[in-house]
Chains A and B, each alone.
Chain A
Amino acid sequence: MLFLLAWEIAALLANLPQLFPTPVDVLSALYALLIAPGPAGLPWAGELWGNTLISLWRVLVGFAIAAVSGILLGVAIGWWRNARDLLEPIIELLRPIPPLAWIPLAMLWFGLGFTPAVFLIWLGAFFPILLNTVLGMESTPKKLVEVAKTLGASSGQILFKVCVPFAAPSIMAGLRIGIGIGWMCLVAAELTGSNSGLGYMIMYYYSTMEAAKTVAGMLMIGIVGFLMFTALKKMEDNLLFWRVQS
């Protein structure tokens, strides 16, 4: 409440609505965006929800691909030394390249719209998931593996009943970080080569100098990001209930 009050007073004092809208302006913009027709294909959803749904769909697809590829590859690297020796240099070479630096190539390879955005989200989410999976696998105590071996467990049993469960908390942390980075990449991806989604909506209203609607779009990004993070945290607590109990 205090924050909103301080914002309102600061914006009123600045008296620059085209640059610094008040919270009341932003709320009224949110309402206008809710009742405006939605983007192509989703006119019924309204502009705000329509673009949010488009962005969410992109991020879910990109994130799902990143989760599957990151976990599989992470488990492989953590389990097989040869895989680690082979892939680690390539990963360490590609990992420092910011996903945004891939935008021109993404447009060249995949054109405009959905696919390059999904590619960028995958790039953003993939590395944290991969590295956390590898970290989780590698930190499995040797004693646990030896005990399993002594009890006659097969390699597959050791992998899926000892190492992967031990790595699960680390994998979940990677998924949480990954979805956050993926969401941020999505917004950046929609600023280039896109004509829908929350990132595009922000750019559109920035261009037409409607600062309140721009901030309303940013607010929506924050809210959705927060909800996704919270949902994943809840899912983590449920899936890893044994960790919570211990």
Chain B
Amino acid sequence: MLPFIRKQAFLVFAFIMTVPLWGGLSCTPATPATVRIGYLLGDLHQLPFFVAQDKGFFKDEGINVQVAGPFDAGPAEMDALAANQLDMGYVGIAPSVLAAARKIDLSIISGVNLEGSALATEIGINSVADLKSKKVATPAPGSIQYVMLGMLLSQNSLSFSDLDLFPGTIKPPDMPQSLQTGRISGYFVWEPFVAKSVVGGYGKALVESKEIWPGHPCCVVVTRNDFALKNDNTVAAVIRAHRKAVQFITDNPADAKTIAQKWTRLDAAIIDNAFTRVKYTYALSKDDVKRFAREIISLGESGTIKPIITAGDVPDLDAFVDKVVDLQYIQR
């Protein structure tokens, strides 16, 4: 009899002691999935990332974002992705295509924005030809702005050798000041660093990137394929949050500008000016990616820029783009 009572007492005791745990199990939400996401230094194109954080869209999707960066330019971010320091990244289309051509196992899974860069010059420069032999800066070689400047020069029958080019050795945030102090005559960069010179009154947007290629793709979201394979639902949740953020910017531009101001610590006038050049979208077109890769290859072949990607790196462009661009997440 006594052992039976002891057993009953133990069961009752065990039940009482574990009640809080049962309750806890049923009430505490599952641990949020952690995703390491990278972004570029002060790049207004990547505003959806900050809106998603600011408005809690990632949290709503059960995602704990570990912010990695900022990176000075896309190639450095792609290296971090290849080195497994990042799971996903907001980055330009050029470095992501370049990274894929270098056999880094990634997928481009969403658009972020179209257009949004420009060639800013000193006030006295009136044409691209005026920049001949002048000091001009771009972000790192292989960045989208570097390629777009190559396209612009090609359209004007010029090449990089006609300029005194400084690619990657002046950081984008330092470019407006370099222009203001006369150290350079122009720079091709992402927003808001064009707007900063324009609003400051010492520079102008001589050519906007939309004039070079209307509706060109710019920033995209990429993921490491091994991460996506193991965390399919997490990647889908990040892209859902990203879509919400893009929608928020479209529906609430004033609130979005406030978030942009908070993030960039720039004046409202600069953000307003920059917003006129950026189109936010999560849409992504395989044809645009294909055209972009083709542009990089042909600019190298024509000698406008030093070859970055050759036809040998990407023998079958269609197969390459089909493999690299994965549209399933923006469709889910």
B residues less than 8 Å from A112 (CB atoms): 135, 166, 169-170, 178, 183-184
Partner of A193, one of B83, B142, B169, B181: B169
| Pair B169/A209 contact, Cβ less than 8 Å | no
CB-CB contacts of B151-175 with A at 8 A, as 1s and 0s?
Answer: 0000000000100111111100000
Instruction: For residue B216, give the distance in angstroms from its CB to the closest CB of chain A.
Output: 20
In the complex, number of A-B residue pairs with CB atoms less than 8 Å apart: 71
- In the complex, whether A98 has a CB less than 8 A from a CB of chain B is no
| Pair A206/B75 contact, Cβ less than 8 Å | yes
B residues less than 8 Å from A59 (CB atoms): none
**A17, A108, A195 interface centre (most CB from chain B within 10 Å):** A195
A195 to B104, CA, bound (A): 27
- In the complex, whether B228 has a CB less than 8 A from a CB of chain A is no
| Pair A111/B102 contact, Cβ less than 8 Å | no
- In the complex, whether A191 has a CB less than 8 A from a CB of chain B is yes
Interface residues of A in 173-217 (CB under 8 A from B): 190-195, 200, 203-204, 206-210
- In the complex, whether A150 has a CB less than 8 A from a CB of chain B is no
Chain A residue nearest in CB terms to B146: A207
| Pair A209/B164 contact, Cβ less than 8 Å | no
Chain A residue nearest in CB terms to B308: A208
Given A107-B183, A112-B183, A204-B141, verify A209-B166 contact (CB < 8 Å): no
| Pair A209/B142 contact, Cβ less than 8 Å | yes
- In the complex, whether B73 has a CB less than 8 A from a CB of chain A is yes
A40 to B165, CA, bound (A): 10
- In the complex, whether B91 has a CB less than 8 A from a CB of chain A is no
Interface residues of A (CB under 8 A from B): 16-19, 40, 107-108, 111-112, 190-195, 200, 203-204, 206-210
Interface residues of B (CB under 8 A from A): 73, 75-76, 78-79, 82-83, 98-99, 102-104, 135, 140-143, 161, 164-170, 178, 181, 183-184, 308
